[in-house]
Amino acid sequence: MNELWFCIVIFVTSLGAGLLGALSGLGGGVVIVPLLTIAFHVDIHYAIGASLVSVIATSSGAAAAYVREGYSNIRVGMFLEIATTLGALFGAWLTTKAPTQVIGIVFGVVLLYSAYVSLKAQHEVITQKADALAMKLRLLGKFPTENGEQAYVAQRVPLGFGMMWMAGVLSGLLGIGSGAVKVIAMDQAMRLPFKVSTTTSNFMIGVTAAASAGLYLHSGYLAPGLVMPVMLGVLAGSLIGSRLLVKAPVRTLKVVFSLLIIAMGLEMIVNSIKRI
């Protein structure tokens, strides 16, 4: 195998990951690291570097489409980004200290958890109760529904902020977008509408990842020859995926993708424990 073939194989794999990630709503980043480490024996530091860069690409690439829908809340996103970026700095610093096996085990657990969240039924609780802190920070808004505009006010802001910090730590430690944790922090902890949570989360993912990217760069995690096919593949896959989204059997894809993620999560845990 020469460099061209290596790049083609990595590109096609990443394209598939990006495609499935966009169609299932789970994001392509979450499977890139296990794919690179398990199937291609890439060191986890290079793998999380390549994954994180592709996470920025998909987040920024999808932004224009999300804005058009008019659900995302710029103030909620910006305020919570203080928590996610600080968490990401800490998480990225941890990657330079934590043993590879520990990163592998945490990654496996996060994979299993993401699969669980995506398969679980969602309960939406919207409230207009005037939470004092949320009013002061103007964490409120309206979003379009079939029955006119629906107003909402964020609740339990400190809890949401804390969970966002954790989402940031996981993003920096594992090179993922940690969209699942971000959405839970917003729709379960802060009681924001599901649509608002998912679109605002997409916006936040890129900024969170950018906070770790600097540290990854300085720590030498970004290998240009590897990042190139991964980033181009995931980006192409996710752009194609978002076009196909209307026609695709989303529920079935979600189940298939979740099973794949569970398998990878278990593989990563077992593999890491074996090497301790």
Partner 1 sequence: MSWNDKRIETWVGIMLRTGVLLAAAVVLIGGVLYIAQSHGRPSDYREFHGEPAQYSTLTGAATGVRTLQPRSIIMLGLLILIATPVARVGMCVIGFLFERDRLYVAVSSAVLLILLYSLFFHK
Site for partner 1 in 121-160 (CB under 8 A): 137-138
Count of residues interacting with partner 1 (CB under 8 A): 66
**Hunting for tokens 């309206």 — which residue is that?**
142
Q: How far is the CB of 76 from partner 1 (least distance, A)?
A: 11
Given phi > 0 = left and psi -120 to 50 = alpha, else beta, which region is 88? alpha
Does 41 sit near partner 1 (CB under 8 A)? Answer: yes
Is residue 86 a contact residue for partner 1 (CB under 8 A)?
Answer: yes
**Segment contacting partner 1 by CB under 8 A, of 24-32, 40-48, 110-118, 183-191:** 40-48
With binding defined as CB under 8 A, does residue 170 bind partner 1? no
| By CB under 8 A, residue 242 contacts partner 1 | no
- Of 221 and 257, which CB lies nearer to partner 1 in the complex structure? 221
DSSP string, the chain: --HHHHHHHHHHHHHHHHHHHHHHTS-SHHHHHHIIIIIH---HHHHHHHHHHHHHHHHHHHHHHHHHHT---HHHHHHHHHHHHHHHHHHHHHHHHS-HHHHHHHHHHHHHHHHHHHHSPP---------HHHHHTT-EEEEEETTEEEEEE---HHHHHHHHHHHHHHHHHHTS--HHHHHHIIIIIS---HHHHHHHHHHHHHHHHHHHHHHHHHTT---HHHHHHHHHHHHHHHHHHHHHTTTS-HHHHHHHHHHHHHHHHHHHHHHHHHT-
For partner 1, the closer of residues 9 and 255 by Cβ is: 9
Among 126, 222, 240, 255, binds partner 1 (CB under 8 A): 222
Decide: is 67 part of the binding site for partner 1 (CB under 8 A).
yes
Least distance to partner 1, CB of residue 198, Å: 15
Q: Give the one residue of 64, 132, 246, 276 binding partner 1; rule: CB under 8 A.
A: 64
Q: Tokens standing for 169?
A: 């730590």
Residue of 51, 178, 197, 212 that binds partner 1 (CB under 8 A): 212
206 scored as a contact of partner 1 (CB under 8 A)? yes
- Single residue of 3, 97, 123, 148 touching partner 1 by CB under 8 A: 3
| Residue ranges binding partner 1 (CB under 8 A) | 1-7, 40-46, 53, 56-57, 59-61, 63-68, 70, 72, 74-75, 78-79, 81-82, 85-86, 89, 92, 137-138, 203, 206-207, 209-215, 217-229, 231-232, 235
